[in-house]
């Protein structure tokens, strides 16, 4: 096995462990929000001008599927639909105070869960991990090298 393949396998294994830690933090949260609905809230939180068509595009689903997700979130008080003041034909999606608190709580739970794992690592390994993650992030967002596909376009 060549070095890049060995590292890729280690990264994949680490990502699976990372996802498991984050998922445990999500499941410990009350109320528990399904991943698809949580994704909707995260998208809306990241763009205050999200409407149904933009949401469907971001989720890569048909608008009716996005609408059903929003129906569920609206029924639980985590999302509001309001007429867009710039174009009354459009419906803007807004977070409620409950969903903002839920996202903040989830972020805090995730960070605490990650910190718990990181604290079990030696200080030197933590520093090495930080440098490696920074280098990986830089490489993943760097302009394409000739003959190589940019990872962001995948």
pLDDT digits (tens, 9 = 90+) for 79-117: 999 988 888 788 899 999 999 999 999 999 999 999 999
- Interval 16-38 mean pLDDT: 90
pLDDT digits (tens, 9 = 90+) for 139-153: 999 887 665 555 554
- Interval 19-43 mean pLDDT: 91
pLDDT digits (tens, 9 = 90+) for 51-86: 999 999 999 999 999 999 999 999 999 999 998 888
33 burial via Cβ count (<10 Å: 0-12, 13-18, 19+): buried
CATH class of residue range 3-134: mainly alpha
Predicted confidence at residue 154, as pLDDT, reads: 45
Domain spans, the chain: 3-134
């Amino acid at each position: 096995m060549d070095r890049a393949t060995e590292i890729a396998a280690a990264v994949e294994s680490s990502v699976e462990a990372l996802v498991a830690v984050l998922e445990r933090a999500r499941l410990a949260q009350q109320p528990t929000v399904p991943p698809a609905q949580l994704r909707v809230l995260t998208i809306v939180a990241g763009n205050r001008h999200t409407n149904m068509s933009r949401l469907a595009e971001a989720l890569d689903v048909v608008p009716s599927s996005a609408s059903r997700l929003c129906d569920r979130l609206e029924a639980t008080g985590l999302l509001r639909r309001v007429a867009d003041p710039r174009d009354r034909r459009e419906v803007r999606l807004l977070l409620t105070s409950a969903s903002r608190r839920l996202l903040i709580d989830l972020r805090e739970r995730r960070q605490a869960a990650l910190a718990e794992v990181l604290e079990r690592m030696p200080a030197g390994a933590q520093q090495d991990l930080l440098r490696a993650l920074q280098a990986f992030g830089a490489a993943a967002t760097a302009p394409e090298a000739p003959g190589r596909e940019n990872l962001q376009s995948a």
